[in-house]
Amino acid sequence: MRFDWPKIVVGGFVVAGVYATYRMVTSPSLPSRPAPPASHSQRSDTKHLSDAFFRLLHDTAEDLRKKGARVTGSDVMAVLLAESEVKPWSGNRWGYAGLNGMGGAQRRALGFHPVPEAEWKVLSKEQQMHHAEAEWKALSAEQQMPYVRRFLLGNVRDFAKGDGAVLKDVGRLYMLNIMPAYVGKPDDYVVFPKGSEGYKNNAVTDRDQKGYTEVRDMARFVVWATNRDPGYWQELQHRLRAAQEQA
């Protein structure tokens, strides 16, 4: 849900700088990151997605299931829909971009660094962010998907101690993507307290409008995202099923 970004945002972690380890990139001590809007345009067209992308999406779900996760390829796809409308060129002014809304430091930690080090060092921080984001958004969904896979599996390793059983529904999978440090919290754990700045910036996740957001609300939010454009979601599912039948 990062296409044509309005002002409503969903949390995660702003990463200030490039860190040497994967865990440091997604540190729970960092402030929340911007994310998806409540509004959207009708977009029932998947021509920008290759058949290979759907096979990679299926394989990612299988990798997670091998770790004990109770999620499907459709769940992985729903998370990407909630984050970016499954559009690799989506992004926002804070530098979070692509299929699952990764930040620049996260992408760099996963090995995406298209600029030679010598050239990179002479760029200002603003130029680095702009260049890296532009290069990332220029990739196809198929090209981004291996990074998404490593990101999710890395978060299972670092925040679920390698035990994917904590991923018991699509909401937990969404938490693994945006706020991995909370993935093991109970359903009633308050992620965004009432009256907080976090809640103000992430009110879209509170689908029943009770004034605060719990872990369990993440699943409701993802389901809501899939219902915004039924035609698009059905087309995505149709293509995923075709890929699964060929697997």
Report the pLDDT value the prediction gives residue 86, as an integer from 0 to 100.
97
Per the CB < 8 A criterion, the answer to whether 55 and 140 are in contact is no
Q: For residue 105, give both structure tokens.
A: 């430091």
Q: How many angstroms separate the CA atoms of 181 and 52, rounded? A: 31
* Predicted confidence (pLDDT) per residue in 27-73, tens digit: 333 334 444 544 444 556 899 999 999 999 999 999 999 999 999 99
Mean pLDDT of the chain: 83
pLDDT class for 114, splitting at 50, 70, 90? confident
Identify the residue whose tokens are 């599912």.
237
Q: How many angstroms separate the CA atoms of 156 and 226, rounded? A: 24
Is the pLDDT higher at 174 or at 121?
174
Q: How many angstroms separate the CA atoms of 168 and 160, rounded? A: 12
- Identify the DSSP state of 173: H
Among residues 192, 181, 193, 187, which one has the least CA distance to residue 215?
187
Is the pLDDT higher at 14 or at 56?
56
Report the pLDDT value the prediction gives residue 18, as an integer from 0 to 100.
29
Q: Taking the model in full, what pTM does it have? A: 0.81
φ, ψ (nearest 5 deg) of residue 147:
-70, -40
Q: How many angstroms separate the CA atoms of 80 and 101, rounded? A: 9
Structural domain boundaries in the chain: 22-35+53-246
Report the pLDDT value the prediction gives residue 19, as an integer from 0 to 100.
29
Q: For residue 72, give both structure tokens.
A: 């499907």
38-42, 107-111, 117-121, 122-126: least confident range: 38-42
Percentage of the chain lying above the pLDDT 70 cut: 81
Among residues 4, 15, 52, 243, which one has the least CA distance to residue 151?
15
Would you call 149 exposed, middle or buried from its count of C-beta atoms within 10 A (0-12, 13-18, 19+)? buried
pLDDT class for 94, splitting at 50, 70, 90? confident
